[in-house]
Structure 1
């Protein structure tokens, strides 16, 4: 039986691409909601809901989908600690695939970032993350940039919150040992560019991903929705969807 997929944020740019990718996958689009609409009716008609809305909706969506027992594919960025706690609470009742970026390429970059960080000592290699997005993006650093930072921190065995440096300005003093630096650029209609730099005294290694079309995120999210349908409750990521999780 085809998986019924609903879209929160159907009227937006990503929503339209998601509708096309759902059709291409041979699945019925069970419906969608726009800004300010409640999720209850959509949840009742769906097996999975894909959600690319705003951080302000996350806690309400978490409660509604957990109550309905409907799988959730969440790609909203800029979540607070409270939002992430609500996502984790929902995952105790339903399968949740939560990712900063649903591109298969970015998923592989994140895996490589963690491996590289584990192999390149922080006292010899400074880690810096540079990202650029379109002028309409409302959060910075981007969710993908933060995910890169978390991957580096995991490889180094530290908590990102303890070593993150973002928005340097003025007389900052020397770079803190072991810091993970972030820089965010905004302009034009750049879909998404992310670079992770490991800068040593005698070499520099750069890992870069550029997205040229948002469709890569939409097709990845639909792939995640098909994977999540019927799955046991839990908090998953794209590494699980691609079979990369250890």
Structure 2
């Protein structure tokens, strides 16, 4: 039986990609789409439920998995609406602050919720193998990270960059918030041994580039992931939706749970 999905922000860059891939996937049924109030016109060609009010849409799409790549405040509100109707949620939104993450975790206690800052298989494989690289290189290698995204991206550093940098810190046994350096300016002195710099670049239509640097004595190692298309993230999110449809509430799921 096909997994029913509801795509939020169906006219946006990621939303439109999700809609197209869902319609082409025989294992999925596009049950509904939702847009901001006053922006749902023109979606009737999809031949599914269309609305600009999620609370009104969900009773017409019972059990459908919601896929949300909107904005932090909207995502928190959407998850609460989903909880009232019992629709599982896959979240790809980045930039949620600790308070918002706490609200999502609370909902996940009673509703299947999946959240990942990056849905690509490649990035999530990196998260598994990077700790091995860090430990093998040892403490003499300084670790830095640079990320590049399109000029329209609103949060910085990217959610993926933060996740990767946190992974590096954990592999060293460091608390990320104690060693992170998201900006350098002026006369800052020598680089501390226990520090991870994360630098942000924005411009053009770059989908997403992340490079981790390991600076050692007499050599440098670079590990780069480049997303060529939003299809990478959308495919991962739809894969997560299929998986989440059969899961029970009680924890906030992530890509590691699928793998």
The TM-score bracket by the shorter chain reads over 0.9
Output the CA distance in 2 between the equivalents of 1:107 and 1:41: 35
**Gaps (5+ residues) in structure 2?**
38-51
Cα RMSD (Å): 1.5
Matched, 1:40 2:55: yes
In structure 2, what is the equivalent of residue 170 of structure 1?
Answer: 186
- In the TM superposition, residue 205 of structure 1 has moved relative to its aligned partner by 1.6
- In the TM superposition, residue 111 of structure 1 has moved relative to its aligned partner by 1.5
- Report the CA distance shift for 1:42/1:204 in structure 2 as closer, same or farther (over 3 A): farther
Greater mean alpha carbon deviation, residues 59-68 or residues 130-139: 59-68
In structure 2, what is the equivalent of residue 30 of structure 1?
Answer: 31
101, 106, 112: which one aligns with 2:118:
101
118, 138, 147: which one aligns with 1:131:
147
Matched, 1:143 2:148: no
What TM-score does the superposition give when structure 2 sets the normalisation length? 0.88
- In the TM superposition, residue 35 of structure 1 has moved relative to its aligned partner by 2.7
Paired residues for 1:53-68 under 5 Å: 53-68=70-85
In structure 2, what is the equivalent of residue 8 of structure 1?
Answer: 8
Greater mean alpha carbon deviation, residues 178-187 or residues 105-114: 105-114
- In the TM superposition, residue 63 of structure 1 has moved relative to its aligned partner by 1.4
- In the TM superposition, residue 161 of structure 1 has moved relative to its aligned partner by 1.1
In structure 1, what is the equivalent of residue 132 of structure 2?
Answer: 115
Question: Which string of whole-angstrom CA distances, capped at 9 and with x for unpartnered residues, describes residues 95-149 of structure 1?
Answer: 2211111111111112222332333333x11110101111111111111100101
Question: Which string of whole-angstrom CA distances, capped at 9 and with x for unpartnered residues, describes residues 44-95 of structure 1?
Answer: 3142100000112122122122222221110001110111111111111122
SS of equivalent residue, structure 2 residue 3 = coil
63, 75, 78: which one aligns with 2:95:
78
Paired residues for 1:153-168 under 5 Å: 153-168=169-184
- Rg larger in structure: 2
- In the TM superposition, residue 41 of structure 1 has moved relative to its aligned partner by 2.9
Output the CA distance in 1 between the equivalents of 2:246 and 2:187: 54
Output the CA distance in 2 between the equivalents of 1:171 and 1:43: 55
- In the TM superposition, residue 204 of structure 1 has moved relative to its aligned partner by 1.6
226, 229, 233: which one aligns with 2:242:
226
SS of equivalent residue, structure 2 residue 135 = helix
Question: Which string of whole-angstrom CA distances, capped at 9 and with x for unpartnered residues, describes residues 203-226 of structure 1?
Answer: 222111011111111111100100
- Report the CA distance shift for 1:20/1:125 in structure 2 as closer, same or farther (over 3 A): same
- In the TM superposition, residue 157 of structure 1 has moved relative to its aligned partner by 2.3
The answer as to whether partners of 1:117 and 1:153 remain within 8 angstroms in 2 is: no
- In the TM superposition, residue 31 of structure 1 has moved relative to its aligned partner by 1.3
**Gaps (5+ residues) in structure 1?**
none
Question: Which string of whole-angstrom CA distances, capped at 9 and with x for unpartnered residues, describes residues 156-193 of structure 1?
Answer: 22221111100111111111222111011111111110
Greater mean alpha carbon deviation, residues 200-209 or residues 96-105: 200-209
Output the CA distance in 2 between the equivalents of 1:218 and 1:84: 22
Query: How many pairs does the alignment contain?
Result: 241
